[in-house]
C-alpha cells in the first residue's frame, strides 16, 4: 500500500516538470519498475487513478515498463537473468553476484501538452 | 525563441527535438520530456539532509525493520540494558497508533519519540525529520529507528540511517527471505530473533534461513539472538560496537555511509540518467 505514497511523490515530480516546461497538462507518464524496487506496477496504476485527480496529470495515462532482474557474477564474470529470490550465478553457482538491473524505480519520461 | 517555424533549432540542440530526443514533439503536438529520476528523489533528498544532521552530531543511526511481533522493541530493551552505561542511546518509534513502544523504551531511562503514522505502512524521511526536531541529538551516540512492523514497504524509503537491520523471528518460518527479498537485500545485518524458542520450533532451521538470505546475493552476517535468554547477544553487541567505531572513523575522514543497496543502485543507474 506504499504505492500511493510513491505515486504522490511521482505526481509531485511531474507537476514540477510540467510547470518548468510551461505545459497545461500531461498526457502520458512513463515509469520503469524493477521487481526488486518493492513497488508493484499494478498497484501503482491503481493508486494513480486516485492520486491523479485534480492534478496536471488528471487525464494522463501511466505506462509502467517492467524491468528484468539481471545479475553479474563477481567471481566468474558471467551475466545472467535471475529472479527476485534466486540471484545466484547461472554459470558457477556462486551467490556473490551484483545486481545489474531489477531494482529500478524511475520516472523515465513525461509527455506534455502546451496550449 | 520560436517554436512554430523551427528557427530556434541549431546544430547544438537539434538532437533534442529529433525523434527520441529530450524535447521531441509528436504529431499531436505533445512534448516528450526525458526525466530518468528516481521516483522517490524528494524522499531521498530529505534522507540525505537527515544523514548530514546525524553526521554533524557524530552519532550512528540504525534502522530496524521486520514483521510486526518479531521482537524489535524487545531487542532494543535488552540492548539498552546492556549498553546504556557506555553509550547514550535514543529511539524513534514508528507505529500506526499508540505510544506503547515509546513508553517501554522510556521506562529504560532512554529518550524515545513516537511517530504514529495513522494509516501509513512505513516511515519516510520527512517523518524522521519532524521527529528529530523533538530530540536533543547532542546527547546521543546511537539513534535507533524502529520502523513500522512490515516486511514490505519500509524497504523502499531511505530515512537517512547509516545501517539497516532486518529481523526474522524463529516463529515466522525460515523461508521469509525468499518471500520478501527486497527487505532482506536491504539489510546490513540479519538478526534471527527469539532463538530461545528454537527448542520448540523444530520446523525453523537457522541454516535454511541463512541459505535463503544467500540466494538473494546477500553477504552480510546472519546472527541468532534471544533478547530473553541473552543467547547470541555478545555477537550482536560486538557487531554494533564495531559499527560505532567504524562510524567514528568515517566521521574523522569527513565520510558517511548509506545503507548497503543505495550506492550500488545509484551507481548502476547513473549511466542511464
- Is the Cβ of B202 closer than 8 Å to some Cβ of chain A? no
Nearest Cα residue in chain B from A27:
B30
For the stretch A52-80, pLDDT in tens is 999 999 999 999 999 999 999 999 999 99
B192: which 3 cell numbers?
534471527
Q: In what order do the strands lie in the sheet with A105-113?
A: A61-66, A25-33, A105-113, B30-38
Chain A residues within 8 A of B215 when measuring between CB atoms: 85-88, 95
Q: What residues does each domain of chain B span?
A: 1-36, 41-261
Q: What pLDDT score was predicted for residue B270?
A: 45
Q: What is the DSSP code (8-state) at residue A67?
A: P
Chain B residues within 8 A of A87 when measuring between CB atoms: 215-217
Q: What is the DSSP code (8-state) at residue B20?
A: T
Please tell me the distance from the alpha carbon of residue A57 to that of residue A18, in angstroms, as a whole number: 9
Please tell me the distance from the alpha carbon of residue B265 to that of residue A44, in angstroms, as a whole number: 21
ipTM for this model: 0.85
For the stretch B3-54, pLDDT in tens is 444 444 555 555 555 655 555 555 567 889 999 999 999 999 999 999 999 9
Kindly provide the residue ranges of all beta strands, DSSP E only, lying in B39-87, ordered along the sequence. Answer: 60-65
Q: pLDDT over 90 for what percent of chain B? A: 81
Cβ distance of B41 and A13 shorter than 8 Å: yes
A10/chain B closest Cα distance in angstroms = 5
Q: What is the DSSP code (8-state) at residue A100?
A: E
Cα angle for residues B219, B225, B226 (degrees, 5° grid): 160
- H-helix or E-strand spanning residue B125: helix B125-132
Which among B24, B27, B33 is the top mutation candidate for probing chain A, defined by the most A β-carbons within 10 Å of its own β-carbon?
B33
Q: Are B73 and B61 in contact (CB under 8 A)?
A: no
Cβ distance of B121 and A85 shorter than 8 Å: no
Average pLDDT over residues A99-105: 95
Please tell me the distance from the alpha carbon of residue B105 to that of residue B112, in angstroms, as a whole number: 6
Fold held by B41-261: Rossmann fold (3.40.50)
Cα angle for residues B256, B154, A38 (degrees, 5° grid): 105
φ/ψ of A20, rounded to 5, equals: -60, -40
Terminal-to-terminal C-alpha distance of chain B: 27
Within 13 A of A60's CA, how many CA atoms are on the CB side? Answer: 34
Comparing CB atoms, the residue among A86, A106, A109 nearest residue B33 is: A109
Write the CA distances from B106 to B80, B110, B111, B134, integer angstroms: 11, 5, 6, 15
Which among B17, B27, B33, B39 is the top mutation candidate for probing chain A, defined by the most A β-carbons within 10 Å of its own β-carbon?
B39
* pLDDT over 60 (residue A86): yes
Is A50 exposed, middle or buried, given 0-12, 13-18 or 19+ CB atoms closer than 10 A? Answer: exposed
Chain A residues within 8 A of B269 when measuring between CB atoms: 104, 106
Q: What is the DSSP code (8-state) at residue A35?
A: G
Q: Confidence band (pLDDT; 50, 70, 90) for A1?
A: low
Cβ distance of B33 and A5 shorter than 8 Å: no
Rg (CA), chain A: 18
Q: Are B99 and B113 in contact (CB under 8 A)?
A: no
Q: To the nearest whole number, what is the mean pLDDT of chain B?
A: 89
* Higher-pLDDT residue of B265, B178: B178
Cα angle for residues B133, B137, B138 (degrees, 5° grid): 135
Cβ distance of B42 and A9 shorter than 8 Å: yes
- Is the Cβ of B124 closer than 8 Å to some Cβ of chain A? yes
Nearest Cα residue in chain A from B44:
A9
Average pLDDT over residues B49-74: 97
Cβ distance of B40 and A6 shorter than 8 Å: yes
* pLDDT over 70 (residue B86): yes
Cβ distance of A106 and B39 shorter than 8 Å: yes
For the stretch B169-221, pLDDT in tens is 999 999 999 999 999 999 999 999 999 999 999 999 999 999 999 999 999 99
φ/ψ of B196, rounded to 5, equals: -65, -20
* pLDDT over 90 (residue B260): no
Q: What residues does each domain of chain A span?
A: 3-113
Comparing CB atoms, the residue among A85, A99, A110 nearest residue B35 is: A110
Question: Helix, strand or coil for residue A73?
Answer: strand
Which among A4, A70, A107, A113 is the top mutation candidate for probing chain B, defined by the most B β-carbons within 10 Å of its own β-carbon?
A107
Please tell me the distance from the alpha carbon of residue A39 to that of residue B239, in angstroms, as a whole number: 31
Q: State the alpha helices, DSSP H only, in chain A.
A: 3-20, 41-51
Q: Are A95 and A83 in contact (CB under 8 A)?
A: no
- H-helix or E-strand spanning residue B241: helix B233-252
- H-helix or E-strand spanning residue B129: helix B125-132
Note the CATH number of domain A3-113. 3.30.2320.80
Cβ distance of A96 and B36 shorter than 8 Å: no
Q: Please count the helices (runs of H) and the strands (runs of E) in chain B.
A: 10, 8
3-state secondary structure labels for all residues of B90-102: EEEEEECCCCHHH
Please tell me the distance from the alpha carbon of residue B31 to that of residue B19, in angstroms, as a whole number: 11
Torsion of CA A32, A37, A40, A45, to 10 degrees: -40
Q: What is the DSSP code (8-state) at residue B198?
A: G
Which among B25, B35, B37, B272 is the top mutation candidate for probing chain A, defined by the most A β-carbons within 10 Å of its own β-carbon?
B35
Among B105, B98, B99, B107, CA closest to B64: B105
Amino acid at each position: 500500500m506504499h504505492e500511493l505514497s510513491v505515486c504522490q511523490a511521482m505526481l509531485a515530480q511531474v507537476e514540477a516538470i510540467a510547470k518548468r516546461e510551461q505545459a497545461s497538462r500531461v498526457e502520458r507518464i512513463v515509469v520503469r519498475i524493477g521487481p526488486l524496487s518493492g513497488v508493484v506496477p499494478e498497484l501503482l496504476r491503481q493508486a494513480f487513478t486516485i492520486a491523479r485527480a485534480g492534478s496536471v496529470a488528471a487525464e494522463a495515462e501511466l505506462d509502467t515498463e517492467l524491468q528484468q532482474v539481471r545479475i553479474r557474477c563477481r567471481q566468474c564474470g558471467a551475466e545472467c537473468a535471475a529472479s527476485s529470490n534466486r540471484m545466484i550465478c547461472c554459470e558457477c553457482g556462486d551467490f556473490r553476484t551484483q545486481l545489474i538491473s531489477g531494482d529500478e524505480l524511475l520516472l523515465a519520461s513525461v509527455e506534455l501538452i502546451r496550449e | 525563441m520560436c517554436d512554430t517555424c523551427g528557427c530556434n533549432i541549431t546544430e547544438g540542440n537539434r538532437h533534442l527535438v529529433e525523434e527520441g530526443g529530450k524535447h521531441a514533439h509528436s504529431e499531436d503536438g505533445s512534448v516528450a520530456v526525458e526525466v530518468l529520476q528516481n521516483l522517490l528523489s524528494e524522499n531521498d533528498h530529505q534522507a540525505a539532509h537527515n544523514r548530514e544532521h546525524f553526521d554533524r552530531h557524530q552519532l550512528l543511526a540504525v534502522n530496524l525493520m521486520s514483521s510486526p511481533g518479531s521482537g524489535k522493541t524487545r531487542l532494543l530493551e535488552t540492548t539498552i540494558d546492556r549498553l546504556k552505561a557506555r553509550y547514550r542511546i535514543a529511539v524513534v518509534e514508528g507505529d500506526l497508533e499508540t505510544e506503547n513502544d515509546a513508553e517501554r523504551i522510556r521506562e529504560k531511562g532512554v529518550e524515545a519519540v513516537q511517530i504514529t503514522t495513522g494509516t501509513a505502512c512505513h516511515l519516510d524521511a520527512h517523518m524522521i525529520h519532524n521527529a528529530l526536531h523533538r530530540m536533543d541529538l547532542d546527547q546521543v551516540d546511537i539513534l535507533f529507528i524502529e520502523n513500522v512492523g512490515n516486511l514490505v514497504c519500509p524497504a523502499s524509503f531511505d530515512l537517512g540511517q547509516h545501517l539497516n537491520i532486518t529481523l526474522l523471528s524463529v516463529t515466522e518460518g525460515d523461508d521469509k527471505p525468499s518471500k520478501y527479498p527486497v527487505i532482506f537485500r536491504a539489510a546490513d545485518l540479519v538478526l534471527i530473533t527469539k532463538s530461545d524458542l528454537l527448542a520448540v520450533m523444530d520446523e525453523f532451521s537457522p541454516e535454511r534461513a541463512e541459505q535463503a538470505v544467500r540466494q538473494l546475493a546477500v553477504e552480510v552476517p546472519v546472527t541468532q539472538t534471544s533478547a530473553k535468554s541473552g543467547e547470541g547477544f555478545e555477537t550482536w553487541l560486538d557487531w554494533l560496537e564495531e559499527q560505532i567505531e567504524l562510524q567514528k572513523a568515517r566521521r574523522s575522514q569527513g565520510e558517511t555511509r548509506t545503507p548497503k543497496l543505495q550506492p550500488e543502485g545509484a551507481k548502476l543507474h547513473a549511466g542511464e540518467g
